[in-house]
Amino acid sequence: MTGLRSTLGKLVGGSAIEIDGAPAADLSVAPESAEQIATLLDFASEHGLTVLPWGSGRHQGFGGRIDPDVIVSTSRLAGITEWIPDDLTVVLGSGATLGLLHDQIWTRRQSAILPETSPEATIGGVIAAGVSGWKRLRYGPTRDRLLQVKFVTGDGRVVTGGARVVKNVTGYDLPRLLTGSFGSLGIITSVCLKLWPVPEALATVATDDPDRALAVTHRPQAVLETPDGVSVYLAGTAAEVEAQAAAVGGEVTAGHSWPDQPAGECVVCIRVTPVDVALVVTSLTAHSFVAAHGVGEVVVAVDPSEIEGLRERAEAGGGAVVVERAPQAVYEEIDPWGTPPATIDLQRRIKAAFDPLNVLVAGRLPGNL
């Protein structure tokens, strides 16, 4: 491996790095450009090396375990390239953190509506994992805000999909395809996101009836339930927020404060249709959880032995139970995704179209893809 190591080191113009929390690999590198990553992946394809892209590690608990030869960190692709506030768009490197982006665009009260409680996560990781913030009830999932994506395919081609405009039907929707692809199709190097202006007034109202809260408010940002109760997250003009808070009727707090992720070693996301959320919540007894009413997402800390039962019920209603993080042993016992999707054959061909030699995260996606 020493020869390979120094060759790869030369290819990316730097030496090996250490990454906290990453699986053991022969080599970890932090390239400075998409072109360097292309050279590296081309080399990996030629020599049959397996590659794991790495952002902050925040979402590496999803999917099948990877035993990589090379880890490619995006930590040197971490800048905000261009922010045009009046267009409500921003272009940034995939290694840029949500915290960095937030701090910059908040100066003009703009938001990319990304997960609220993981400032250390990288934008590349969030896109690759396809995770969304709680405000998706109002703004839709993260994939609805990815306007353009630049990525390097498994065989080392630098590809751009989408464009830097907020509305676009020019060509196939590669940004959506890359969202939630977990590095299986390519390593994302930069993205352009659509931003939203942050409304003037924000308030959080306590309630005990989430269905009623959804009925008496118009397009709230979120209705979240935890073991401590239900909160309705309102936003808009001051007058509108005040009137809606009164309609909900509970205790009002100015601003939004978001619940922490459930505490526990093994955390899963139960994904069901919106009406099934209440049912799921009823079935959770002594659990730490956050349930998104109106959306269909319940993130919950479980004992691994509960997963199969929860999964059976969720899948029967067209949903899924997805492992977000768990001790290593759990992955050996339980499929982190559940039953593979109906389009699995198609997905296999799509993967092969972008990563013909299967060097990128083989086995991470559902169906051991």
Partner 1 sequence: MGLSNALVSELASIVGAEAVKSGDLDRHLYSKDAGVIRGEVSVVVLPRTARQVASIVRTAVAHGLAVVPRGAGTGLTGGAVPEGPAILLVTTRMDQVDVDAANRTAWVGPGVINLDLSNQTASLGIHFAPDPSSQAACTIGGNVANNSGGPHCLAEGSTVNHVLAVEFVTAGGEIVVAGSGAPDPPGLDVRGVMVGSEGTLGIITRILVKLIPNPPAIRTLLIAFPEVRGAAATVTDVIASGVVPAALEMMDQPLIRAVENFVHADLPVDAAVVLLAEVVGHEAGVDVEAELIERIATDHGAFQLRRAADADERELLWKARKSSFGAIAQIAPDYYLHDTVIPRTKLVEVLEQIYQIAERRNLVVLNTIHAGDGNLHPLFAFDASDPEAVTQVNQAADEIVEISIAAGGVLSGEHGIGQEKRDLMHLVFSPVDLDAQARLRDAFDPEATMNPKKILPAGARCFDFGRPIPEGAWL
Site for partner 1 in 251-270 (CB under 8 A): none
Q: What φ, ψ does residue 30 adopt, rounded to 5°?
A: -130, 85
Give the Cα separation of 64 and 80 in Å (integer): 31
Contact region with partner 1 (CB under 8 A), list: 9-17, 179-187, 250-258, 301-309: 179-187
Q: Which residues have a Cβ under 8 Å from the Cβ of 219 and sit 6 or more positions away?
A: 137, 138
Of 28, 79, 91, 33, nearest in space to 54 by CA: 28
Contact region with partner 1 (CB under 8 A), list: 73-81, 86-94, 116-124, 255-263: 86-94
**Pick 10 or 108: Cβ nearer partner 1:** 108
Among 28, 45, 94, 207, binds partner 1 (CB under 8 A): 45
Among 6, 13, 67, 84, binds partner 1 (CB under 8 A): 84
309 binds partner 1 (CB under 8 A): no
Site for partner 1 in 147-166 (CB under 8 A): 153, 155, 157-161, 163-166
Structure tokens at 313: 């019920």
Among 253, 358, 363, 368, binds partner 1 (CB under 8 A): 358
Give the Cα separation of 108 and 103 in Å (integer): 10
Of 103, 93, 115, nearest in space to 222 by CA: 115
Q: How far is the CB of 75 from partner 1 (least distance, A)?
A: 26
363 binds partner 1 (CB under 8 A): no
Among 57, 258, 344, 368, binds partner 1 (CB under 8 A): 344
Q: How far is the CB of 112 from partner 1 (least distance, A)?
A: 14
**Pick 45 or 122: Cβ nearer partner 1:** 45
Residues 112-141: x/- map of binding to partner 1 (CB under 8 A)?
A: ------------------x-x---x---xx
Residue 98: left if φ>0, alpha if ψ -120 to 50, beta else—which one? alpha
**Pick 125 or 366: Cβ nearer partner 1:** 366
**Pick 17 or 258: Cβ nearer partner 1:** 258
Q: How far is the CB of 231 from partner 1 (least distance, A)?
A: 19
Q: What φ, ψ does residue 101 adopt, rounded to 5°?
A: -65, -45
Give the Cα separation of 99 and 82 in Å (integer): 16
For residue 119, with 0-12 CB atoms within 10 Å meaning exposed, 13-18 middle and 19 or more buried, which class applies?
Answer: middle
Q: How far is the CB of 20 from partner 1 (least distance, A)?
A: 28
Structure tokens at 314: 């969720």
CB 74 within 8 A of CB 91: no
Q: How far is the CB of 124 from partner 1 (least distance, A)?
A: 17
Give the Cα separation of 182 and 18 in Å (integer): 22
190 binds partner 1 (CB under 8 A): no
**Pick 111 or 122: Cβ nearer partner 1:** 111
**Pick 123 or 280: Cβ nearer partner 1:** 280
Site for partner 1 in 12-41 (CB under 8 A): none
For residue 34, CA distances in Å to 18, 30, 89, 92, 190 come to: 21, 11, 21, 13, 9
Q: How far is the CB of 165 from partner 1 (least distance, A)?
A: 5
